[in-house]
A = this chain, B = another copy of it.
Amino acid sequence: MNSLTNIDRLSLNQITTNNWSLPEAVEGCVKAEVPWIALWRNKVEETGLAQSARLVREAGLKVSSLCRGGMFPAADAAGRAARIEDNKRAVEEAAELGAKTLVLVCGPSADKDIAEARKMVEDGIEQLVPFAESHGVTLGIEPLHPMYAAERSVIVTLAHANDIAARFKPEQVGVVVDVFHVWWDPDLYPQIARAQGRILGYHVSDWIVPTPDMLLGRGMMGDGVIELRRIREAVEQAGYDGPIEVEIFNQAIWDRPGYEVLAEMKDRYLKHV
């Protein structure tokens, strides 16, 4: 299996340097010569949408995705309608920022009926698709790890994300493959192959042992047990040649100087991804 020989596809997902503001992250990428960045809505809001778009554009950075839309299930129709409205704002922001993909973290169930919540996700995506398409934004369903099923997303397998995406055109809805969320799945490689032409993003980090925390316990590539190269090659065989986001939720990494994290991230990317 071949290593990557340059960082042309490397993207800093902003969460990896969570202590940095958007202007700091943009400056960090420029200095480290990281060509792509994935933006988070809360960071964009902090800086302002127009200003964020201008900073990224003037820095010559490409935007791999906007994180995140989704969160479709809600206890009542008014709640669900409010989520759709919020998703439309996210689509508009993605379009203005030049992000072709809006990442969907689909949301937890409002009650114990997880099957019903899953229907709400499908309904929400269906409602959002025409608006997103008219803005040139594709919706990327990111299945989360099953340990987040109760708090973040009822969509927890790539098979399920593929099932939903398949009801739409590839330019409308696809999937985002994040190794941290899917590495454990015995059905992973068949589902990556099945996602051919539908993969909108590839996210890397690592699963460290022992896992220090359910939310903030992701590791830097090479520090854990995930077969990063094997998964990348499967994703590439399924036709994906776009940016590779480094997305790490880890308090210890967040507490380090951002420039140091970027330097390590580049090194680990070439060695392990």
Contacts and interface: CB of A to CB of B under 8 A. Distances in A.
A207 B118 CA distance: 18
Interface stretch (A35-43, A155-163, A234-242, A243-251): A155-163
A209 B111 CA distance: 11
Interface centre among A156, A186, A209, A210 (most CB of B within 10 A): A186
A156 B157 CA distance: 12
A165 interface: no
Contacts of A13: none
A112 interface: yes
Q: How many copies does the complex hold?
A: 2
A65 to B, nearest CB: 24
A114 interface: yes
Contact of A186 (B159, B186, B226, B227): B159
A150 B186 contact: no
Given A114-B227, A225-B109, A225-B112, A186 B207 contact: no
A183 B149 CA distance: 9
A149 B227 CA distance: 13
A209 B118 contact: no
A186 B112 contact: no
B156 A186 contact: yes
Contacts of A3: none
Contacts of A157: 185-187
A226 B146 CA distance: 13
B184 A149 contact: yes
B146 A225 contact: no
A209 B109 CA distance: 12
Nearest to A109: B225
Given A214-B214, A225-B109, A226-B112, A186 B147 contact: no
Interface string A199-221: 00000000101110010000000
Contact of A211 (B209, B214, B226): B214
A14 to B, nearest CB: 24
Given A147-B147, A184-B146, A227 B113 contact: yes
A209 B150 contact: yes
Contacts of A147: 145-147, 211, 214
Contacts of A109: 225
Interface of A: 109, 112-114, 118, 145-147, 149-151, 156-157, 159-160, 183-187, 207, 209-211, 214, 224-227
15 contacts: A109-B225, A112-B225, A112-B226, A112-B227, A113-B227, A114-B227, A118-B186, A145-B146, A147-B214, A149-B183, A150-B184, A150-B209, A150-B225, A151-B210, A157-B186
